[in-house]
Amino acid sequence: MLRLENLSCGYGPVVAVEDVSFDLPAHSSLALLGPNGAGKTSTIMAIMGHTTIHGGRILFNDQDITRLPPVKRVDLGIALVPEGRRLFTDLTVEENLTVGGYRLSVQRDKINRQRVYDLFPRLSDRRKQTAGSMSGGEQQMLAMGRALMTEPKLLLIDELSLGLMPKMVDLCFDALAALKQEGVTILLVEQNTARALDFAENVCVMTSGSLAFSGTSKQAKADENLFDVFISAAHE
């Protein structure tokens, strides 16, 4: 479904990611791991269309989307749950979901909204509550729900568990597992390495803007040197 071919990207003239290539098959999941500053967020922001492309290509279902505007990528079926959630904190749960589904018909909005509430019953109970007054875990659920309102085929998630209580982390990963069962393809950036390796079938590890490892989760768990990559990169 997704292919990065020798992707180099950044912000203006600054190159943050260089020569990164990987494939993500449809109906599968990939964990993008690495220390802070490794280029993980820049990579998924490039997939979403929010960085400057310096080289390489991004293909989605065999279509070259390298220069496509972000809104067109959403229409194709790509959605982002950004780091820090970035909700409209003064709007209610329902209003945030409305923003997520504004390009769809009223009927599709209603169906997708119920899908979100079925996946996250807490949100259904808090429909009229403002996003800014909710807990971090509830806000993460809402950020995921807002992305799901676009009916994504590919869901990009940046730091799912960051700052969340363990119970909320469990609930969010349970929701991801349910989405994977539905056939949604998932690209997950995550600092909780153990949870990410347990969830995703495939793994890429980045350091200093480049790929240091690409393979299956089983291969990653068996690689005794992989943890050393994180340690050495953290001290560069």
Domain with 179 in it: what CATH number?
3.40.50.300
Burial 188-218 (b: 16+ CB within 10 A, else e): bbbebbebbbebbbbbbbbbbbebbbbeebe
Q: What is the pLDDT of residues 75-99, one digit of tens each?
A: 999 999 999 889 999 999 999 999 9
Query: For residues 151 and 44, what is the distance between their CA atoms, to the nearest angstrom?
Result: 18
Percent of the chain at pLDDT exceeding 70: 96
Strands across the sheet containing 2-11: 14-24, 2-11, 52-60, 63-64
Quick one: 221 and 194 in the same domain?
yes
Please check the confidence at residue 234 and state whether its pLDDT lies above 80. Answer: no
pTM, rounded to two decimals: 0.92
Q: What is the pLDDT of residue 225?
A: 77
Q: Name the residue among 32, 39, 36 with its Cα closest to residue 16.
A: 39
Burial 22-52 (b: 16+ CB within 10 A, else e): bebeeebbbbbbbbebbbbbbbbbbbbbbbe
Q: What is the pLDDT of residue 227?
A: 67
| Averaged confidence pLDDT in the chain | 93
Q: Name the residue among 215, 221, 180, 173 with its Cα closest to residue 197.
A: 221
Q: Position of tokens 């990169």?
A: 233
Q: What is the mean pLDDT of residues 37-62?
A: 97
Q: What is the pLDDT of residue 103?
A: 87
Q: What is the mean pLDDT of residues 101-107?
A: 89
Quick one: 95 and 162 in the same domain?
no
3-state secondary structure 167-183: HHHHHHHHHHHHHHHHC
Quick one: 124 and 19 in the same domain?
no
Please check the confidence at residue 45 and state whether its pLDDT lies above 70. Answer: yes
Our count of domains for the chain comes to: 2
Of residues 235 and 110, more confidently modeled: 110
Please check the confidence at residue 235 and state whether its pLDDT lies above 50. Answer: no
Please check the confidence at residue 48 and state whether its pLDDT lies above 60. Answer: yes
Look at residues 100, 120, 150 and tell me which one is the last residue of a structural domain: 150
Pair type for strands 29-33 and 63-64: unpaired
Quick one: 157 and 225 in the same domain?
yes
Q: What is the mean pLDDT of residues 152-156?
A: 97
Q: What is the pLDDT of residue 232?
A: 53
Torsion angle defined by CA atoms of residues 70, 144, 38 and 219, in that order, rounded to the nearest 10 degrees: -120
Ranges of beta strands (E only) in the chain are 2-11, 14-24, 29-33, 52-60, 63-64, 78-81, 154-158, 185-189, 202-207, 210-216
Which region among 38-52, 155-169, 177-191, 212-226 has the lowest average model confidence (pLDDT)?
212-226
Q: What is the pLDDT of residue 84?
A: 84
Quick one: 121 and 142 in the same domain?
yes
Quick one: 157 and 73 in the same domain?
yes
Look at residues 100, 125, 150 and tell me which one is the last residue of a structural domain: 150
| Contact yes or no for 149/93 (Cβ under 8 A) | no
Q: What is the mean pLDDT of residues 113-134?
A: 95
DSSP 74: H
Query: For residues 184 and 51, what is the distance between their CA atoms, to the nearest angstrom?
Result: 24
Domain limits at 141?
85-150
Look at residues 126, 150, 174 and tell me which one is the last residue of a structural domain: 150
Number of other residues whose CB lies within 10 A of the CB of residue 117 = 18
Please check the confidence at residue 226 and state whether its pLDDT lies above 90. Answer: no
